[in-house]
Chains A and B, each alone.
Chain A
Amino acid sequence: MLAVDLLLTLAALATAGQCLLLPGLFRAVTNLMAFGLVMALIWVRLDAPDVALAEAAIGAGITGALLLTALGQLPASQRQLQHVNYRFPHLFIPITIIVLFIGSLVWAAMLSLPKLGLVKEIAATLPYSGAEHAVTAILLNLRGVDTLLEIAVMLCAVAAIWSLQQAIPPPVLAGVNYPGLTTLARWLHPLFLLTFCYFLWQGTHAPGGAFPAGAVLGAGGVLLLLTSNIEWMHQRAYNPLLRWLLSAGLLLFLATALSGFLMTGTLYGLPPPLAGYFIIAIEVATALSIALMLMTFYLFGRPGNWP
């Protein structure tokens, strides 16, 4: 298996190097997407299937589509990406110093010290957490406050983007140049929905859960947005509904944390008999919120300007 690891390492180094060192804006972005896919394979090799699912959907798919959409909006003066200064000392010396520093740090901190984890503690509390899969239990119950703050960070990002400018209208495809694209996006959407429901259902007992599910539904929604199949998001009448839907995940999370406080006396302390129901409710709301927020990132501004 070391040969596979070596191949993955070389592929990651090659894509990252091409992304950061070679000229050409489009090449850099496509190499970043390839790098995301290689990282997803590395997560699988390191026994982290949850991370692999999220990375494949977000790191390779959604980040790449965000960057490509932004590239299309850039003025001509910004479309050139200069050659990096390759001369020997400029790149070589700082990279060597940082590699030696981090390498020694990793060796001292990770490889030579005994590795302490929370494996036994998690296994002991898992039956009382309301989920059978450890990562889901940590995300939505044991360290639920982290996830609550993360949803708040995403909502802040949406608010920051909306305060900058009006939404960029979707490109006019008009069915002339790309006759199959709009139809294909519409026909593929049930498949995205099916995958979303499968990940949600699987999340309580196996790798899956709110994050990969939200990422998959968000990716499908982005495809629909780019082919202008979602018009309600741009219409003024639906703007209040959109705002409520965006904040639904955070509001439900806050309500859960407060009801845990009322029932057990600690913030987010869910009582074990009811924890399973709470986890399902938060999982669905979080996944829908993540999907909708990932979709609104693509507008690069505030929608709701159409009558």
Chain B
Amino acid sequence: MKHALSHLAVTTDVLFALLAAFLIALSLVSIFTARHLIRRLLALNILSSAVFLLLVLTARTADGIDPVPHALVLTGIVVSVSTTAVVLALYLRRYRREPPC
């Protein structure tokens, strides 16, 4: 029991894990309840940042910093900006009068 409780001390890892949990909760609720599409897109961006935070937290091992999750997060950041661009282009297409090219 003492061993289990010793992990609950407020360290950097615990604090940022709690932050990630709060951000995931807030953005998930926003994705499902928001009316405006742009707000859903913002929530998706914040959700991806929170998941990256969890991934980077797993990189802090006893042996030192594990670089593999860092590389994964770098790839993920670029993919999430691509998603944002495609969603915005689709959204703008809906309100433009001209015929598709």
Contacts and interface: CB of A to CB of B under 8 A. Distances in A.
A66 B85 contact: yes
A2 B45 contact: no
Interface in B13-58: 13-30, 33-36, 38-39, 41-43, 45-46, 49, 52-54, 56-58
Q: Which of A96, A147, A165 has the most CB of B within 10 A?
A: A165
A14 to B, nearest CB: 12
Interface in A6-21: 6, 9, 12-13, 16-17, 19-20
B71 to A, nearest CB: 4
A106 interface: yes
Interface string A281-293: 0000000001001
Contacts of B77: 51, 54-55, 58-59, 211
Contact of A75 (B21, B90, B95): B95
B54 A28 contact: no
Contact of A139 (B15, B71, B86, B100): B71
Taking chain A's interface residues, is the majority helix, strand, or loop, or is none over half, making it mixed? Answer: helix
Interface of B: 4, 7, 10-30, 33-36, 38-39, 41-43, 45-46, 49, 52-54, 56-68, 70-75, 77-79, 81-86, 88-93, 95-96, 98, 100-101
Interface in A118-170: 118-120, 122, 134-135, 138-139, 143, 146-147, 150, 153-154, 157, 160-161, 163-166, 168
Nearest to B29: A94
B27 to A, nearest CB: 7
A63 B95 CA distance: 21
A111 B13 contact: yes
A74 interface: yes
B44 to A, nearest CB: 11
B71 A135 contact: yes
